[in-house]
């Protein structure tokens, strides 16, 4: 069947969005080759070895913390009933509301020689001065690994628990009937089932670790991300920063390849009616151990830093109040996040609607390619994306400046930062809208077409009203992520514009934590609604009801980042 002009226009728009996402990758390579051979030799000899080694150690260490914590907690909450299980079912997601740089900021203040932790220990042990007793400095690679692992384990917890919820309980019940229980049931049955979900969660953890710049720099770990930022900001060396960014891309590709390798040949057939896993009740010592095991990540990853920030923020408010500059930073943050959210939703809607129209015309492969390319931005760390956008933005500004003799449109404005956030978080919006459109039956499209409605009228009058919940959820997730974004904001914001994230970064760089605590608390409070939404939409704490009809197949779950 021939496509109508309206359908071709939507498909062309979808490819334009995909091209906008793919453009920075080509621009990054072009920028990198502009550097001299001597520059690359200097980077290869003096910058890349140490930065790459630190990055690899950080990635391996964070995965070694996040994977066991997330997997074990997901298994305990899914398979056993113990005191606090329903609370931990959603509370284990709370660290997602705290960006990594805020956790590092909070723990640096907590563990300061004059901070509450060491002051309390000295009072308890009878010491009067920090010279007599002080804990080791928190600025180290092991501390960075532990803190990042405590913040990022929910990615593994979320994917693994979703896998346990999707898989039929027959295998676990069969193992229990054969006398397999306890640790043996987890190692021999649950762990092999969860391996694809563990691979997905681990890939997300590694991508978020690569994107981190604040925690690594606060804790003195010189990673590739920090090297990109310092090379561009300190030395104004764009080709050098692009060359380091290419090394980061190699690490990203390796991480994604490991994720695919972890899911190779993993397929599960849904041969019957799927039933939820019935949790076994634990009593006595095992119940206490399960409660402690689930409580520790929540306490260390969310409660302790959030409580400290709340106390410090209240002291600041009672004393000097909030400065006008901080209020201005909060306004800038809201404005940037709002513009980025609107642009991201529009781009995501173009991608998913173009794919829907192409699928109806049996051209789903073409539209699916545009959809997947449009989702690549999430795999790009913020520093890499920022460096990749600088060169094409400079070209556009030079062309427009020569034509109009006006001020630059992209460089030195919020437009480039909004564009970077749109590209980076487009995958989040497309995942939510794609899932929302999948719930709308194709018969509605056919009915609208039969009544003479074109693709645009059908989207506006039929599908958008039905997509309101998916649009609201995607908007909330993108808005919160844009508020928390630090690497791209540091590199692309105008010099006179601060956000809450950059304000906090500057306070930590100066070693002043009082007013930074207010900015950090505002970011955490902004992230809580998205975490609550994620917990409510993903799963509840109790066993889920069995579906009305058996699934045709059950492979590894498709989970949006």
503-525: per-residue pLDDT in tens?
A: 888 887 776 666 678 888 888 88
Q: What pLDDT is attached to residue 288?
A: 94
- What is the count of structural domains for the chain? 1
User: Is the Cα dihedral 236, 237, 238, 242 positive or negative?
Assistant: negative
Q: Output phi, psi for 278, to 5 deg.
A: -85, 120
Report yes or no on 14 lying in a domain: no
Report yes or no on 552 lying in a domain: no
Report yes or no on 5 lying in a domain: no
Q: Which residue has the tokens 């453009």?
A: 23
What does the DSSP 8-state code read for residue 280? Answer: E
- Asked if 309 and 106 touch (Cβ cutoff 8 Å), the reply is yes
Half-sphere exposure of 247 (CA within 13 A, CB side): 23
In DSSP terms, which residues pair with 166 in a beta bridge? none
- Asked if 53 and 221 touch (Cβ cutoff 8 Å), the reply is no
CA 69 to chain centroid: 18
Q: What pLDDT is attached to residue 38?
A: 66
Report yes or no on 23 lying in a domain: no
Report yes or no on 555 lying in a domain: no
Q: What is the pTM of this model?
A: 0.81
**Residues contacting residue 257 through CB under 8 Å, at least 6 positions apart:** none
pLDDT band at 557 (very low <50, low <70, confident <90, very high): very low
pLDDT at 270 over 60: no
Q: What is the CATH number of the domain that holds 186?
A: 1.10.3720.10
Report yes or no on 218 lying in a domain: yes
- What is the token pair recorded at 407? 């001020």
CA 62 to chain centroid: 15
Q: Where is average pLDDT lowest: 58-62, 162-166, 352-356? A: 162-166
In DSSP terms, which residues pair with 81 in a beta bridge? 281
Query: 234: exposed, middle or buried (C-beta count within 10 Å: 0-12, 13-18, 19+)?
Result: exposed
CA 513 to chain centroid: 25
44-100 tens-digit pLDDT? 777 788 888 999 999 999 999 999 999 999 989 988 889 999 899 889 999 988 889
Residue of 112, 99, 229, 195 lying closest to 154 (CA atoms): 99
Report yes or no on 254 lying in a domain: yes
In angstroms, the CA 31 to CA 245 distance is 10
The residue range of the domain holding 430 is 28-265+289-537
- Asked if 543 and 535 touch (Cβ cutoff 8 Å), the reply is no
Report yes or no on 414 lying in a domain: yes
CA 558 to chain centroid: 16
**Residues contacting residue 244 through CB under 8 Å, at least 6 positions apart:** 43, 47, 48, 51, 224, 227, 228, 231
Q: What pLDDT is attached to residue 549?
A: 34
- What is the token pair recorded at 300? 């260390």
- Asked if 244 and 224 touch (Cβ cutoff 8 Å), the reply is yes
Q: What pLDDT is attached to residue 273?
A: 46
With DSSP H G I counted as helix, E B as strand and the rest as coil, what are the percentages for the chain, rounded to 5?
75, 0, 25
Query: 361: exposed, middle or buried (C-beta count within 10 Å: 0-12, 13-18, 19+)?
Result: middle
Residue range 488-503: average pLDDT?
Answer: 86
């Amino acid at each position: 069947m021939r496509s109508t002009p309206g359908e071709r226009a939507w498909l062309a728009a979808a490819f334009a969005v995909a091209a906008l996402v793919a453009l920075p990758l080509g621009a990054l390579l072009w920028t990198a080759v502009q550097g001299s051979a001597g520059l690359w030799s200097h980077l290869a000899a003096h910058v890349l070895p140490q930065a790459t080694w630190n990055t690899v150690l950080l990635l391996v260490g964070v995965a070694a913390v996040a994977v066991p914590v997330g997997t074990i907690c997901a298994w305990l909450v899914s398979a056993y009933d113990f005191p606090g299980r329903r609370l931990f079912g959603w509370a284990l997601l709370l660290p997602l509301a705290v960006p990594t740089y805020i956790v590092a900021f909070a723990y640096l203040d907590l563990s300061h020689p004059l901070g509450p932790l060491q002051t309390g220990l000295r009072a308890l042990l009878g010491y009067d001065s920090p010279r007599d007793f002080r804990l080791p400095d928190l600025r180290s690679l092991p501390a960075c690994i532990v803190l990042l692992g405590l913040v990022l384990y929910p990615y593994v917890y979320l994917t693994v628990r979703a896998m346990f919820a999707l898989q039929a309980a027959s295998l676990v019940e069969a193992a229990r009937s054969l006398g397999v229980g306890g640790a043996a049931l987890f190692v021999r049955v649950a762990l092999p089932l969860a391996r694809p979900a563990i691979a997905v969660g681990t890939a997300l953890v590694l991508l978020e670790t690569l994107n981190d710049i604040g925690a690594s720099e606060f804790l003195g770990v010189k990673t590739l991300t920090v090297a990109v930022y310092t090379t561009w900001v300190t030395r104004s060396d764009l080709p050098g920063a692009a060359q380091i960014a290419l090394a980061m891309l190699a690490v990203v590709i390796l991480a994604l390849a490991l994720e695919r390798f972890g899911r190779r040949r993993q397929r599960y057939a849904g041969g019957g009616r799927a039933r939820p896993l019935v949790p076994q009740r634990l009593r006595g010592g095992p119940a206490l151990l399960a409660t402690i095991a689930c409580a520790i990540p929540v306490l260390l990853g969310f409660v302790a830093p959030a409580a400290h920030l709340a106390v410090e923020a209240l002291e600041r408010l009672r004393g000097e109040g909030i400065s006008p500059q901080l209020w201005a930073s909060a306004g800038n943050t809201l404005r940037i996040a709002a513009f980025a959210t609107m642009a991201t939703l529009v781009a995501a809607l173009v991608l998913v609607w173009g794919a829907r129209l192409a699928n109806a015309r049996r051209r789903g492969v073409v539209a699916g390619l545009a959809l997947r390319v449009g989702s690549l931005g999430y795999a790009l760390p913020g520093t890499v994306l920022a460096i990749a956008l600088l060169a094409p933005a400079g070209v556009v500004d030079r062309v427009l400046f020569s034509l109009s003799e006006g001020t630059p449109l992209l460089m030195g404005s919020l437009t480039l930062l909004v564009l970077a956030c749109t590209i980076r978080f487009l995958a989040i919006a497309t995942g939510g809208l794609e899932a929302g459109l999948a719930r709308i039956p194709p018969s509605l499209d056919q009915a609208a077409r039969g009544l003479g409605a074109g693709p645009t009228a059908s989207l506006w009058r039929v599908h958008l009203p039905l997509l309101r919940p998916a649009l609201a959820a995607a908007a909330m997730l993108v808005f919160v992520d844009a508020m928390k974004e630090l690497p791209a904001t540091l590199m692309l914001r105008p010099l006179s514009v601060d956000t809450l994230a950059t304000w906090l970064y500057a306070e930590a760089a100066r070693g002043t934590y009082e007013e930074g605590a207010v900015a950090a608390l505002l970011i955490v409070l902004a992230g809580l609604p998205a975490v609550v939404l994620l917990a409510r939409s993903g799963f509840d704490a109790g066993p889920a009801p069995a579906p009305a009809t058996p699934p045709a197949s059950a492979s590894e779950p498709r989970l949006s980042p």
